Amino acid sequence: MIEEYEAKGKVKKPTAASGKWREGFHGVDVYCLGPSGHLNAADDDDTSREAIHNRCLILRIITDEISVLLPGDSAVNQWRDRILPNYADELLEADVLLASHHGSRTFFKKEKDNDPYEDAIEAVAPNYTLISVGEDNDYDHPHEDALRLYREHTGGGVAQTKVEGSILVKAEDGEVALERSPVEAQIEEGKVATKSASVAIATLPSVSLSAVQFNKDTKRPMRPLRSGSSKVPKDEYILFSADVRNRPAGSRLEWEVKNWGVDGDNHHSERYGKDEHAGSYDLSMRRTDGDSEWTRRTAYTGRHECIVRLVDPISRHVLGVERFVVQVGRPRPRYQRRMGRKRR
C-alpha cells in the first residue's frame, strides 16, 4: 500500500539530497522516513518484538501551519544507525512529536542502565510532545527516565493522554495549541450515571462553567471570558463559577486545575485540586470561595484549564463535568509557514 501511495505522490520518502519541499495533496506533505528497504535482512528473527518495532512506519506530516512527527514504536538503534545519518535536521524537526512507543525508554536507550541517546530528540526539537498511553498499563509507560528527557528537550509542554484525556492539536495563523478533544466530551458523557433508561434527559444532573476576569484594584468583575478563545495577561485573577442543574442531594463539586506553561514557564506543567479548607485563595482579593466557585491567579504563560465535576460521594460516579480553557499571556511566535518554526 505504501508503494502504491508513494507512486501516486501521496507519500514521499526523502533522501539526504532533498533540498526542496515538494507539493503534497490537499495542502499536506507526508514524508516516510522509515523503515529502510534492507532492514528485514538485518534482523535475525523477523518475528521478534524488536524486529517488528524496527519495521514500523515513521512519518513526518507538514502543512502550511504545522509539522508533526509520528515515529511509531521506533527505537534508538533505528534513529542512531539509519535515520540520523541519512536525513538532514530540516527533514526531522517538528512542532509536535508523538512520543515513540507510548513513552518507552527504547527511543533513548535499549536497556535501562544504558546512557541515553539524545541526538534524535535534539534533531526533532519539538515544541509539544504528546504521549499516547493508557492509564494503569501493564508496561508502566511512560518510563520515568524517558518522560524526564522528553520534558528537557520539549520547548512548550509534554502532555499524556492518561492524564489529560484525548487531546486535539489545533494550528491557526502560525500558532499551535493543544485543546481537549471533542472525543473526550463523548467519553465523559458516557460515564454519566443514570439509574434508569426511562429517566427523561431534562431531569439528569448537569453542570456548566463560566468565568470572569477580576479587576485587581477594584476587586470587582471586569469582563466575562469565553472558553478556548479568551486571553488573559499573567498575574491577573479569574473567578470560575459552576451552575448545577438537577443536583442530587448529597452530591458535591470537585475542582481541578491544569497548567501547561510555555516559553520561560515551560517547566510548569501541573495539575492540582481545590483545597476546601483553604478559605480565600489570595488575601489581596479579599474573597472566600463558595462550593460553586474558585478564584485563580494566572501565574504562568501558556494554557490554564479549570475542570469541575459533579460527583456522587458514595458511588464516585461522575454525574456531570465541564471544563474552561484560557490562554495566559502572549507566547512568543514559534511557527513559520511552510518551513515550520525557527531553530534556536
Domain edges within the chain: 2-164, 195-328
pLDDT at 318: 86
Q: How far apart are CA 154 and CA 147, in angstroms?
A: 11
The pLDDT of residue 180 is 75
- Tell me which amino acid residue 270 is: E
Say what the pLDDT of residue 195 is: 40
Contact residues for 249 (Cβ-Cβ < 8 A; gap 6+): none
Q: Which phi and psi (to 5°) does residue 297 adopt?
A: -100, 135
| Cα–Cα nearest to 149, from 180, 132, 124, 168 | 124
Average pLDDT along the chain, 344 residues, taken 10 residues at a time: 52 46 62 68 55 81 90 91 86 92 92 90 92 87 92 86 84 77 67 44 77 86 88 91 90 89 80 68 67 88 90 85 89 43 37
- CATH of 2-164 given 1.20.1280, 3.60.15, 3.40.50, 2.130.10: 3.60.15
Is residue 170 a contact partner of residue 177, using CB atoms and an 8 Å limit? Answer: yes
Q: What is the pTM of this model?
A: 0.54
pLDDT at 320: 87
- Which secondary structure element, helix H or strand E, spans residue 164, and what is its range? helix 161-164
* Residues near 46 by beta carbon (within 8 Å), at least 6 away in sequence: 40
CATH H-level superfamily of 195-328: Immunoglobulins (2.60.40.10)
pLDDT at position 33 is 86
Measured distance CA(245)–CA(65) in Å, rounded: 41
What is the C-alpha separation between 23 and 184, in angstroms, rounded?
Answer: 34
Placement of cell 515513540 in the chain: 100
- Per-residue burial over 25-37, b = 16 or more CB atoms within 10 Å of its CB, e = otherwise: eeeebbbbbbbbe
Rounded to an integer, what is the distance from CA 143 to the centroid of its chain?
17
pLDDT of 137 reads 84
The pLDDT of residue 344: 36
